Structure 1
Amino acid sequence: MTGKPAGNTFFCDLAKEGNSATIRCPLAHSAFFGLREKPHQKLVMPIATPKQYAAMLDAAQQGDYAYPGVNITSITTINAALKAFADAKSEGIVQMSTGGGQFASGLNNNDPVLGCIVLAEAAHRLADRYDILIGLHTDHCQPEKAAGFLKPLIEETARRRDKGQRNLFQSHMLDASILPLEENMAISKEYLELCAANEIILEVEAGVVGGEEDGSAGTEDTPAEKLYTTPEDMLTVYESLNGIGRYMFAATFGNVHGAYKPGAVKLRPDILKEGQDAVIGKHGEAAKFDLVFHGGSGSAKHEIKETLEYGVVKMNIDTDTQYAFTRPIADHMMANYEGVLKIDGEVGNKKVYDPRSYLKKAEQATADRLIEACNDLESTGKTIFGTV
């Protein structure tokens, strides 16, 4: 292996079976994570740079497809997400919630910020073995939690940038939809300015996503009319945030979090078209929103496809992947009931109560469900890795 520094980039030539490959990896990033190249292993650093993340969203917008935004809580769920995106040859967005971060930090810490940093650092390390781009994102953060959650995470990226290291996260969500729109936009502008200064994309929401989800609970009884963002709302969002920095917008069109029986959720994707048309009609094609579809679990495939025509570039999926993760574990426990328990003086069967025996199944099942999501969102086979 030979190499030479060039600014903040180190160009390495790796020889393998007579073939030479050039690998591009920022010095500070590789030094920070303690990475070491192996003769048989290319170091490709697929956690997206700000430029690459923007290119991902642009490609989805221009190609009428979207990326799954999957919530993770552990090394196992990170691996499931990375496996799925790599196998599908699709970029993807790996997300963490306040509750997920709290869980990942451990029972004695209960610290959402610490947990999200640990998960993000793990994702950086694990992702360097894959040849697709990954965006790291934090999910719903309400206004009352923003100072103690979003600000420390943005500050963590700022510290890393000061040292020449890459952004820890590529985007964050501020969910101020509980507030009147004027107040929502005021705090959204504040956080968009902080994000823009660090090349982070902010996701905002106007309108209410019904149902119940980690970090976004208590909207089960929301009146139906509140579940639909109006064209006037979308104009207000654009005119409030335009020019500050790049953002994604979670407009609501009847979508809900959680699991519901078929027919219980009445989606109106045409709401998205009406809003986009209003904004583009007044401000031009460049004003088109990068939209986010929340509550994607359980949605009909034809409804998902319709949203892609109206500018959705990310669809969140959590409930379905939680079920996909848990189902094979339940099957394993029922099939090996006598082995996983020590009953009547017996010692059980170590091979079946070893957590690896069922967590491998959970990882595979979660990956399978995510590949299905890539197919539904039409991102399969469309990786832009190596082109930006």
Structure 2
Amino acid sequence: MKMILAIAYKELLDSLRDKRTMMMVVVLALFGMPFMMIFMSEMTNRIEKQVEKKVILVSGIKNAPQFQNFVERQGYEIKEAPADYEEQLQSKNLIDPVLVIDKDFSDKLAHGERPTVYIVLDVANQDTQTGVRPLKHLMQSFANEMAVMNLSMRGVSPDILNVVDVQERHLSRTADTGAQLKSVMSMMLMLTMVSAGLYAAIDTSAGERERGSLEPLMMNPVASWTFAIGKWLAVSTLTMLVVIFSVLSIFPSSLLIRNETVKILLQFSGSEMLMMVLVLLPLGFCLSALQIAIAINGKTHKEAQARATLLVVIAPLISMMSMFKQGADPVWFKWIPLISQNQLMTKILNNEVVTTLDMLAPIITCVVLAVLALWYTSDRMRKVLM
């Protein structure tokens, strides 16, 4: 055990001396979580401003005085759309959709015909898509008001339009309001883990092979699995330190968030932060073992980096699997690393019931993968001498 700890201590010091490793640790630990939280805050601000904005762009508003009167009564401000609105929408100079009203709008309305209006937007301009729904709702409200007026003038009760009374009944809990934001945050923490120990894992395996220091090291009367476990502990320690600092950075990061809704949703207690670290602990050990196992095959630092980058690419793809499923999460999600941790952290942060299987499944999977990866690393290190 003393030998394993000595190797781990030596490898950890070597990793901290490496500039690339230290740069990755500092950037991820100090700036990763603050950047993500500020980004989410700004995105939420942008969407809320777009939805709450009481301004609509109209081309040909003079053709519809009734509609103009209705819109102004709803508290909206009408702005005349520029003549080249199509070009400006395509070039993204306009961020709001444009309502186009034909010249015969009032005439058709007066004769009981259905006038046609157009909501013009560019699908490639994502900003315009946010304003489509409020604009449609405004047009539908105007159509309903006109229908009620026409029926009332004919002595017909407008209640015949409402054959069915539709009411929404929301079942979501208060904690579920920010579930999506919390899920994104937990995913960000896990992706931080994937990158945190990358250079340390490469340097402690392929880096030593390239420098020619691995072969003399393996000639010592120490079992190869001792070296493998020592190196693994060093990389795992570095990875978990980054995660701990990332979780702790949530407190100062919340001071930079301007959106009050996001600030309230992302307020966590000390016990919740501790649970985050405990949930991610097995995953950190597992990822470190896998990174070393992948990097040990590289004879040079660049070759190992190319191999290890594969894990950085695959990890986000695995994490996104849960975003494309429909309905309840399948049971096998509990046995997939990254997905299971994301599910577990989301449940904990939303105060949902966590079963024994929810807790044990990701731990068992991570332990099995870590043992297999360490066995493979030990075997490869033994073959270095052959």
TM-score past 0.5 threshold: no
- Greater Rg by CA: 2
Structure with higher helix content? 2
Structure with higher strand content? 1
TM-score by length of 2: 0.20
